Amino acid sequence: MDSITTIETFIQHIPKAELHLHIEGTLEPELMMKIAKRNEISLDYESVDEIKKAYQFSNLQDFLDIYYAGANVLRHETDFFDLTWSYLTKAHSQNIVHTEIFFDPQTHTERGVAFSTVITGIHKALEKAQNELGISSKIIMSILRHLDEDSALETLKEALPYKEWITAIGLDSSEVGNPPSKFARVFEKAKTEGFETVAHAGEEGDAGYVREAIEILKVSRIDHGNRSLEDELLIKHIVENKIPLTVCPLSNLKLKVVKEAIDHPLLKMLNRGMVATVNSDDPAYFGGYINENFLAMSEALNLTAKHVHQLSRNSFIASFLTQEEKSKWIRETDLYYEQYHGRIE
């Protein structure tokens, strides 16, 4: 640790929580090929390189098309365990000490894979990571917003036997044309059942989508939230109510939400007093896990050790950990910053 003299090594070693991570989006080409072969599923790609070449997108829907095609290889509990464990080992190598993982049950149940198969595989990997790697975790079940309300309500019903495993209900997939208000009854029911709630909003949808997620779905935090900066009254509400934003820089670049890294609003969010956090979203598809996201922003926006420290603190503040657990990790990040920030070149 005494060799920490660059922002890159500072980013590598500071404790972090990841709050916006789609487990299906961690399916690396090598693992996709391995699982496809194991399950005797033919792919449209002959090699890992071909898959990597396909990971070029011009918008969110382009990405979702290949994302759902990749998820098709996942059929058995072992597949979901292997997928989750692969991410967790990577997370451990980047000093992620807590992670809150999204999974999309409808992606799997719609093609005949049982809800129990999906969540049991994920849960077993999370337990193993807690015991062997010291990584704590939460599970967030996401509703696919391009499907109808009835499908969402049925999925919520399927989740109820696993309430002790699932912390929150989320909302993801194709944003434009599928506003948060479409799922008002679903989120009201989720709240009644004791779930926390979060929602993707303001990625491709405008600031009104963010406002709906807050006012109608009554979410605890906003996933993405970039376009909330278009509405001054909304910014004021987010800041005053300390509503966190789980920001995903490399995802935003890959999906053309921002044109260039230098255009990313992360620093503006911090400067406005928003509880912004850095996350990797779908790292296998977007070219980087959490540290690569931090590093890309440090290079483009000239983030200092102070900024990185604030983002790390925010990740724990915004998490669903207990207050005692949050305080423990915030102290750890503070001590780390105090010890090393003066040495960063």
Which DSSP letter does residue 227 get?
A: G
CA distances from 301 to 172, 260, 267, 272, 295 (A): 28, 11, 7, 15, 10
| CA separation for the pair 279, 283 (Å, rounded) | 9
- Among the options 77, 175, 196, 203, which is catalytic? 203
Which DSSP letter does residue 259 get?
A: S
Burial 220-240 (b: 16+ CB within 10 A, else e): ebbbbbbbbbebeebbebbee
Binding residues for Zn(2+): 20, 22, 200, 281
| CA separation for the pair 61, 289 (Å, rounded) | 21
Closest among 16, 22, 21, 19 to 220, alpha carbons compared: 19
232 labelled catalytic:
no
Structure tokens at 217: 């779905």
User: 48 with 33: CB under 8 angstroms?
Assistant: yes
Helix (H) or strand (E) holding 284: helix 283-286
Count of beta carbons in the 10 Å neighbourhood of residue 132 = 12
Amino acid identity of 21?
L
Binding residues: 20, 22, 200, 281-282
Binding residues for substrate: 282
Residues marked as catalytic: 203
